[in-house]
A and B are shown apart, each in its own frame.
Chain A
Amino acid sequence: MNQADFLNIIVPFKDKVFRLAKRLLVSNQEAEDATQEVLLKLWSKKEQIGEYNNVEAFTMTMTKNFCLDRLKSKQANNLKLVHSNYQDENTSLQKQVEAEDSISWVSKIMETLPEQQKMVLQLRDIEQYEYKEIGEMLNMNPTAVRVALSRARKTVREELIKKHNYGVS
C-alpha cells in the first residue's frame, strides 16, 4: 500500500475522526494533534489494514481510546485542557456558531455531558452512524447505545429549554 492508497482510505472518515476528537478534547489544537496521531498510527499499521473488516469503525475506536487516554493523563497532571478557539480566525464554523448564539449553546451544553453520552450523541446526530456501528466503535451493545443517546438528547433538550426560558442572550 502506498501513500495515495492510504489517503484514499482515510479521506471518507478523517473529518469524522477530527470532529469526535474535538468533541472530547474541546480544543481545536488538541483535536488536530489527536487526529494526526491517530492517522499516523493507522499508517504505521498499514500492512494490516486489509485484515480489519471495518477500518472506519476501527479508527473511530482508536480515536476514542486515544482521546480518553489524553483526558486521563491531563487530569492526572492536574492540568485543564486549555483551548483558545475564540482566537482562531480560520475556523469559519466557530464564527458561524458564534454568530448564532443559541446554536452555540448546544455545543456548550454538549460539553457538560458525560464522555460516553457526548460520543454517542456525536456519532449519531452529527455523523449519523447506525446503532450497531456505534456499539462496535464504543464497545457497547446497541441497547446501551440507545439508552445513553436518549439520556443525552433529553439532557440537551432540558438545558436548552432552560436557557430559552431565562431569556439569556
Chain B
Amino acid sequence: MELANIEKLLEKYFEAKTTILEEKTLQEYFSQEEVAPHLEDYKSLFQYFSIAKEEQFTKHVPLKTKRNYYKWISVAAVAVLVLGVYFGNQPSKGGGIDPQERIAAERAYQETKRALAMISQNLNKGKEKMLYLNEFEKTKNKIFN
C-alpha cells in the first residue's frame, strides 16, 4: 500500500467517511513494524483497536432460571400434601374393630362416666357446705359497717 493512499485514507478516516474495508486497510498498514515516521503517532491508535478486539468475556452465565426451581419445589410440596392426606385418613376409613373390643370399650366408657358423675356429685356436696362461709361474710360486714 503506497503512502499517498494511506494519507488520503487517514484524512477520510478522521472525517468518518471511510468504509469498513478502508479502515481495515489502515489497520493492516499500521499493524506492521515499519510505518512512515510522520505517521508513527497513529500506530498506537490502530494497534490499540486491534488489541482491544481480542478481549473476551470469560465469566460463566448461570442460565438455570430460578423460576424453574420454584416450580419443582411446589410440585414436591403438593405431592407431599396429597400423600399426607391419603395416608393420614387411612386408619379411620378402614376401621375394622372387632365386636369384643367394641364391647370392652363401651364398658370402659360407662365406667368412666359413672366415676366422673360420682366426682361431680361429691364436688357439689362440698360446694353446698361452702355456702356457710357466706354467713361469715355477712357477719363480718355487719360488724365493720
Contact between A44 and B65, CB atoms less than 8 A apart: yes
Interface residues of A, dominant DSSP: helix
A12-46 contacts to B, CB under 8 A, are 14-15, 17-19, 22, 32, 35-36, 39-40, 43-44
Known contacts A44-B65, A146-B17: A100-B44 contact under CB 8 Å: yes
Interface range on chain B: under 10, 10 to 19, 20 to 34, or 35 or more? 20 to 34
Contact between A39 and B51, CB atoms less than 8 A apart: no
Known contacts A36-B61, A146-B16: A126-B44 contact under CB 8 Å: no
Contact between B49 and A126, CB atoms less than 8 A apart: yes
Known contacts A130-B20, A157-B42: A150-B14 contact under CB 8 Å: yes
Q: Is A147 an interface residue (CB 8 A)?
A: yes
Q: Which residues does chain B contribute within 8 Å of A100, judged by CB atoms?
A: 44, 47
What are 30 inter-chain pairs, A to B, with CB distance below 8 A? A3-B63, A15-B56, A18-B56, A19-B53, A32-B59, A35-B57, A36-B59, A36-B61, A40-B61, A43-B61, A93-B51, A97-B51, A103-B47, A103-B48, A106-B44, A125-B49, A127-B53, A128-B24, A146-B17, A149-B16, A150-B14, A153-B13, A153-B14, A153-B16, A156-B45, A160-B41, A160-B44, A160-B45, A164-B40, A164-B41
